[in-house]
Chain A
Amino acid sequence: MECLGACDYAPALLVNETLVGAASQESIAASLGQGDIPDFRSRRDPVAQGYETTRILTRHFNEERLAELPVYRSLGGYQGLEKALSLSRIELIEEVKKSNLRGLGGAGFPTGMKWATVPADGKVPGPRYVVANADESEPGCFKDRVLIERSPHQLLEGLLIAAYAIGAKDAFVFIRGEYGIQYRVLRKAVAEAEKAGLVGGNILGKEFSCRVRIMRGAGAYISGLDTALLESMEGKKAWPRQPPPFPTVAGLMGRPTVVNNVETLSMLPAIAFNGGEWFAKIGVPKCGGTAVYSVSGHVERPGVYEFPMGAPLRRILEAAGGVRDGKKLKAVIPGGASTPVLSSHEIDVSMDFEGLRGVGSFLGAGGVIVLDETVNMAEVAHNIERFLAHESCGQCTPCREGSEWTVRILERILAGRGVGGDLPNLQRIGENITGKVICALGDTVGVVTRGFMKKFPKDFERHG
């Protein structure tokens, strides 16, 4: 079993395909005994209400039945697509470039620039593809889950806009196997859109045709990495490819392919409708628009919060109600489990790609994990490393061996059997992994523990 993408309902479990949130001994017993499984969605996601902020993706989240096509259309849905189809592809890519939209799956690569690297039809004729990466699976990140569930047509509309921009006639959504409900929501949305002539041949009566297919992953963290995702789609073990060539040149079945994250694609309808400059103005230089943060851990109101790029972390934490039970804040992991930890006095950082890089961390996929004073950071490091070791695809040696080695040393330290030299050794192993592996997961393995040891050395030493 992989990450459930439900930190906001932690502790969570999956019973067949139904997610059970805030699980307790009683609810687990009940769900196993009677088959009457409580639907976790009865709890509403808090979405930063009443805060002075511009919301793009979540602005209609409180509408009942937003997932249904008539409701979505009544709120202006698919007007972005209509506008996009009135532009030429080059004009559309220019708008996206102007918007400073960055890849919100974690890497932060400028979306317009990515599209522009797809070779022109005249240069490389034949099919090209767009893939929506819905394989979110990093502990602390669940915003894509919510975006799909609440507003599947917004994703679909964005996917079609991207397909039009690069000339793809086939678009795919690669969704993780654990997202059962979301898969069904999305499938229903695609069926609705097909019926309404929004997916398929001559979309909106224009000379643009695109099919949309949904593929379910088998549950592996690494499948969320674009090249591993493509391998998985081709029916192979999800081992990352080592660029070059990049997917935009040789992706799915060797064809030019754009892989964009759910959140990134969901931004496109608004960008197409309002223009790139409008979007760019909302954020900070180099990072346009907003970002949807998944906030979880020791906060009063875990959930998704949309803020303009560059909002201080402190504001996001306040929106989520601050540290729960009146405890003191100890640390925040800003972008999902794999991003370097920040200590409590670093929360005035500007939450965007550049801002977090400035303090030695990453925005990642915006999974903000809040840790209060009771937490032992060696345990957190161990927990995350155990996750990464379990999810290491095993293709390249430093990650395959180094991640498990790290876990076993941490295990020994936590069991009180640490020996002299363990901490420098952990440091050294981390250094030897980072920068010497094929993909980002391996780099992360090396970074996580070093980050924790640097900022919270006492938590490690007291076990030694």
Chain B
Amino acid sequence: MAKFTLNGKPVEAPEGTLVLEAAKKAGVEIPHYCYHPALGNPGNCRLCVVEVEGAPKPMVSCRLPVKDGLVVKSDSEAARRAQSASLEFHLVNHPLDCPVCDQSGECGLQDYYMKIGRYQSQVREDKLHKGKRMPIGPHVMLDQERCVLCTRCTRFVDQVTGTRELGIFGRGHMERVDLIPGMALDNAYSGNVVDICPVGALTERDFRYKVRVWYLEETDTICPGCARGCNISLHTNTQRTWHNEGRRAARIKPRHNPEVNGYWICDEGRYGYKSLDQDRLGRVIRLKPRQELSWERALDEVAAALKNGFKAKGPEGLAVIASGAFSNEDWAAMKRLFCDVLGVRRFLFSPEPDQVGEEDGLLRRREKVPNLKGGEAFGFGTEIPSKSWESLAREIEAGLVWGLYIVDRDAAKVWKDKAAGLFSRLDLAVFQGSCKGKTGDLTHYRLPATAYAEEDGHFTNFEGKTQFYRKALEPLGQARTDWRIFSELGERLTQSAPLEAAP
């Protein structure tokens, strides 16, 4: 450990830690743009200059390692003046289009101007003009004029994705960030460049102008897009429903967790929030004959149908298809209902064929559902084997199955043309889920379940890390959590008290 002095106070940090980092840990924010803990410290923005005792000139704190006896001042008159001077240079040619820049509210130039700037502008010259509103990939828009050339984005595509779509072209004041000729910023992690851009130069095409950031509420939660369980922050907009094209969720931002996802998330996860408002089930419906039901009535009917089936054909003929998007709480309730109460043997947890995604060495996993691992802890997929989609279809065709309970999996999509024929052979088919899919139209009952953003729960990721995800939105329509549906159904089947208290 090195003992040094920061703004007159003694601070301890491991030898070699950058002063900028050590200061941050000690609660002292030194302004900076180019330094990013995951992308290094090129020291080119020159904002993090500090006064160092004995040094002839100000030093950049992102390149200065702490050592014993170092005396640093980040808030002295000289340090403030140096920081303010650097900021002034950043702003010489920065266009004043703040009212339309969608970084508003999250712009490092604005923030630092209020903290260390507040000078009278001496710029009497015209601003230089560079490219504006340039779509550089499916998700990202570039505004070269606003760029402060911190090089975080070019370092990201160089060091993190290795795809190198972006480069710095030209030199001096004509320097600009741009695409390498013939390329587009279309890698699987492209959205991250927007997060790391400290100003409004890189914006999300998806999010631009949809809603001002200060209207958003943030909820720390977990991405359900694959078995990684990236830590995210879900930004929702429920106060001004006329913004954001009526969508409740506005965007997803990665949340730093060094043990799971570092600073990043993939684009698939980032834009996955759109499913929260798409194709959702809102009402409890019996389809044959079609009628909207109350939860009580629907559960009574389903329980009665299950009991009848048991009486007539036994538990062997009941099959359950369940998704890996269950929380650990859902898995537990499901085990109680289907294994302990009903003694079901036929289970299917295999992903749908198109739920097998691409895997790379960075974050994305082949497994596109978040919590098969959590199910394994309850024996699903291990002690309780999973059938294949094909063999279950054959068993239904052979008349071995009278009832099918499907949770969150679009069986009809997998079985395609065969689906209608298969469902017609069943005495009872129940669909429980958040999105209707093709299956939602073929079953006898449709029970709306909450999406991940509408419930609290735990996912266990592929490495066995169990993480808490939080409710960010009220459930849509009559949707209930899977575990609550299971336990209330179980209550009806056993005629006993509910297995869990209702939330």
Which residues of A are interface residues toward B (Cβ below 8 A)? 220, 222, 237, 242, 389-398, 400-405, 408-409, 412, 419, 421, 425, 428, 432-433, 435-438
Contact = CB atoms under 8 A, between A and B. Distances in A.
A400 B171 CA distance: 8
B89 A397 contact: yes
B11 interface: no
Given A394-B168, A436-B86, 6 more contacts: A389-B173, A392-B173, A396-B45, A409-B124, A436-B85, A438-B43
12 contacts: A389-B172, A397-B46, A397-B47, A397-B148, A398-B85, A400-B149, A401-B90, A408-B125, A421-B122, A433-B89, A435-B56, A435-B57
Contacts of A396: 43-46
Given A412-B125, A419-B124, A436-B49, A390 B88 contact: no
Contacts of A394: 149, 168, 170-175
B131 to A, nearest CB: 16
A394 B42 CA distance: 13
Residue in A392, A428, A436, A438 with the greatest tally of chain B CB atoms within 10 Å: A436
Interface in B68-104: 82, 85-86, 88-90, 92-93
B492 interface: no
B339 interface: no
A437 B172 CA distance: 13
A408 B125 CA distance: 7
A397 B45 contact: yes
B175 A242 contact: no
A47 to B, nearest CB: 36
A432 to B, nearest CB: 4
A279 to B, nearest CB: 31
Given A401-B173, A405-B125, A436 B148 contact: no
B279 to A, nearest CB: 48
**Main secondary structure on chain B at its contact with chain A?**
loop
Nearest to B56: A435
Give the 5 A-B residue pairs with the shortest CB-CB distance, closest first: A394-B175, A435-B57, A432-B85, A404-B173, A392-B172
Nearest to B47: A397
B123 interface: yes
Residue in B88, B89, B122 with the greatest tally of chain A CB atoms within 10 Å: B89
Nearest to A392: B172
A400 B58 contact: no
B73 to A, nearest CB: 16
A391 B174 CA distance: 11
Interface in B169-203: 170-175
Interface in B390-419: none
B172 A398 contact: no
Contacts of B170: 394
Residue in B42, B58, B171 with the greatest tally of chain A CB atoms within 10 Å: B171
Nearest to B84: A432
Nearest to B33: A397
Nearest to A402: B89
A401 B93 contact: yes
B171 A393 contact: yes
Nearest to B123: A405
Nearest to A395: B44
A392 B58 CA distance: 21
Contacts of A395: 42, 44, 149
A389 B172 CA distance: 6
B172 A390 contact: yes
Nearest to B171: A394
Contact of A391 (B45, B46, B124, B172): B172
B243 interface: no
B272 to A, nearest CB: 37
B49 to A, nearest CB: 6
Contacts of A436: 46, 49, 57-58, 82, 85-86
A450 to B, nearest CB: 15
A437 B43 CA distance: 9
B470 interface: no
B91 to A, nearest CB: 9
Nearest to A389: B172
B63 interface: yes
A462 B122 CA distance: 21
B173 A437 contact: no
Residue in B124, B128, B174 with the greatest tally of chain A CB atoms within 10 Å: B124
Residue in B42, B82, B85 with the greatest tally of chain A CB atoms within 10 Å: B85
Contacts of A409: 124-125
Contact of A403 (B44, B85, B167, B173): B173
Contacts of B82: 432, 436
A354 B148 CA distance: 39
B267 to A, nearest CB: 28
Contacts of B171: 220, 222, 391-394
Given A392-B172, A403-B173, A432 B58 contact: no
Contact of B90 (A390, A397, A437): A397
Nearest to B58: A436
Nearest to A244: B63
A397 B86 contact: yes
Residue in A402, A405, A421, A438 with the greatest tally of chain B CB atoms within 10 Å: A405
B168 A237 contact: yes
A433 B124 CA distance: 19
B43 A403 contact: no
Interface string B10-54: 000000000000000000000000000000001111110100000
Residue in B82, B125, B167 with the greatest tally of chain A CB atoms within 10 Å: B125
